[in-house]
Amino acid sequence: MNHFSYHRGTLHAEEVPLPAIAEAVGTPTYVYSKATLTRHFQMVTEAFGKHPHLICYSVKANSTLAVLRLFAEAGGGFDIVSGGELARVRQAGGDPAKTVFAGVGKTPDEMERALNAGLLMFNVESAEELEMLDAVGRRLGRRAPFALRVNPDVDARTHRHIATGLKTSKFGVPFEEAVDLYTRSRKMKGLSAVGLDCHIGSQLTRSAPMKAAISKVAGLYRSLKEQGHPLAYLDIGGGLGITYRDETPPSPQEYARTVLEASKDTGATLILEPGRVLVGNAGVLLTRVLYRKRTPAKTFVVVDVGMNDLIRPALYEAHHELQPVVKRRGKPVQVDVVGPVCESTDVLARARPIVLPQQGELYAVMSAGAYGMSMASTYNSRPRPAEVLVDGAAWRVIRERETVEDLWRGERA
């Protein structure tokens, strides 16, 4: 569900008409619904009921401070993949003791900062990383809490660029090596084994791959406990998908049933790392039509959103619905909606049937709350968009639009 809907032909975010935001802030602008963000968090945690669990929001999906603050205030933890994300979590009031640190390339400096901050645990992804974490722990005179991220070799049935649980993936430790690494860790004075982790990919829309992966990893968890490893956490990752067009991902309730059934009898506190499912449909990207262009082969609609603002269509061939902010009658024509960036891949939508817009009309790129602003860049020396948070009938700018002077901050001619 989301809180973007039409009222008298004009698209609103909660109670705020989107043209009012575009007029005041300009375009491109990301607009988020607070009601949607908080409701999605509640739905996931309520689905798991009284079973011991911790929701660690995946910061990479949307790392804006105001969004992080909302989840921190709701009692959530965080899943981070860099020292910069840890700094953002702390700046937003998040609790390091509810934060897990994933990623294949943690530096010793990042490990040290996270360990000093009181991190819940590191999700370790290789034997050499385990050795480095041990060295950092010993140097600081403490034991670093860790979980091994194991690769269950399960096909997530998602886009090849966001599948992470196959043998060919750079992520995780091969399943058959996990027991040996846990055994070795017992002799490492800078480590403390506290959990086990897996994550098979993003935008998961089927329960079967999740069930297969979690069942396999839960079996390993039980075996490790029987061998005397003092594990307490089973981190099942995130990746639950959303509806962009016609996908039918599992509901939070179905997802919880799948997870709880697959992980039963482990006695573990479950760590969940949702990202997209919390923020994806909680945000839209406002854009304005610049030009219409007809060629013998196609009709193009040129808008002011480029691939630097929203790279998902160019990177993942991702589909985003496009909605006119003010409805207008007319016969749809097939167009390519393209941006101003000097790349042939700067295309928001191909062969999309829409009523041909006039210059200056506003469109909303839907389902843009996840991997939108967090992946934005200044390519072509284009300042990044503004961000707005709507709360009922009120709204506020939570990130100012970058200026051209921001583009060269820190540079020396």
Known catalytic membership, residue 56: no
Residue 75 marked in a binding site: no
Cis amide prior to 145 (ω within 30 degrees):
no
Which structural domains are found in the chain, ordered by start? 4-32+280-407 (2.40.37.10), 34-277 (3.20.20.10)
Residue 275 marked in a binding site: yes
The string of pLDDT tens digits covering residues 197-237 is 998 776 877 778 888 889 999 999 999 999 999 999 999 98
User: Is residue 392 predicted with pLDDT exceeding 70?
Assistant: yes
Residue 312 marked in a binding site: yes
CB neighbours of residue 2 within 10 Å: 22
Q: Which of 69, 63, 60 is nearest to 95 (CA)?
A: 69
Reported as type and span, the H/E element at residue 87 is: helix 83-91
Single-letter code of the amino acid located at 190: G
Dihedral angle over CA of 363, 367, 371, 373, nearest 10 = 40
The string of pLDDT tens digits covering residues 88-114 is 999 999 999 999 999 999 999 999 999
Residue 369 marked in a binding site: no
The string of pLDDT tens digits covering residues 44-59 is 999 999 999 999 999 9
Give pLDDT, residue 212: 86
* Helix runs in 302-413, H state only: 312-316, 404-407
- Report the percentage of the chain scoring pLDDT > 90: 85
Residue 274 marked in a binding site: yes
The active-site residue out of 1, 7, 128, 342 is 342
Q: How far apart are CA 133 and CA 166, in angstroms?
A: 25
The string of pLDDT tens digits covering residues 25-42 is 999 999 999 999 999 999
Residue 239 marked in a binding site: yes
Quote the Cα angle for 130-132-137, to 5°: 95
Q: How far apart are CA 401 and CA 384, in angstroms?
A: 6
Give pLDDT, residue 372: 98
CB neighbours of residue 339 within 10 Å: 26
Contacts of 154 (CB under 8 A, 6+ apart): 165, 166, 200, 209, 212, 213, 216
Residue 96 marked in a binding site: no
Q: How far apart are CA 324 and CA 402, in angstroms?
A: 25
Give pLDDT, residue 123: 97
User: Is residue 196 predicted with pLDDT exceeding 60?
Assistant: yes
Q: How far apart are CA 70 and CA 113, in angstroms?
A: 24
Single-letter code of the amino acid located at 157: R
